[in-house]
Amino acid sequence: MNNNDMMEKEEIFSKVLRAGRRTYFFDVRATKAEDYYLTITESKKFTNDDGSFHYKKHKIYIYKEDFTEFKDILAEMTDYIINEKGDEVISERHQKDFKKEYDDQPSSSRTTEDEIKTTESFTDISFDDI
């Protein structure tokens, strides 16, 4: 068996999830005994000061005997996070134009952007003008 046959045999099925700077690769692979297992690879792009870039990769292997428990725990953990924190993406808060709406305040106590005035918006008048 040549090297190409080995590569085709090893990678059986693949899916890719692109998520910003991260890419997740889900690959079904075959063992030497012709059994299947799953690899999940996270690849994250880093840019150097000079504009060049490199990738850091982390890989985990999940074998069939662990699928049920892995799936159950993954579902439990993701459900917990959504239940505790909702599905708002927190990193969006770090965008420079992010404006948080505070739902915990009554609407009568909320201040809108139009209501907030700075001294720059006032007209400078003299009492002599009155």
Per the structure, the complete domain to which residue 31 belongs is given by 8-84
Nearest to 54 by CA among 62, 45, 63: 45
* Whether the model pTM is above 0.85: no
Question: Domain for residue 73, yes or no?
Answer: yes
Nearest to 41 by CA among 8, 19, 74: 19
The pLDDT tens digits for 39-50 are 999 999 888 889
Question: Domain for residue 110, yes or no?
Answer: no
Q: Which residues pair with 23 in a beta bridge?
A: 18, 43
Please state the domain count of the chain. Answer: 1
| CATH assignment of the domain containing 29 | 3.10.450.700
Element housing 84 (H / E): helix 67-85
The pLDDT tens digits for 22-77 are 999 999 999 989 999 999 999 998 888 898 988 999 999 999 999 999 999 999 99
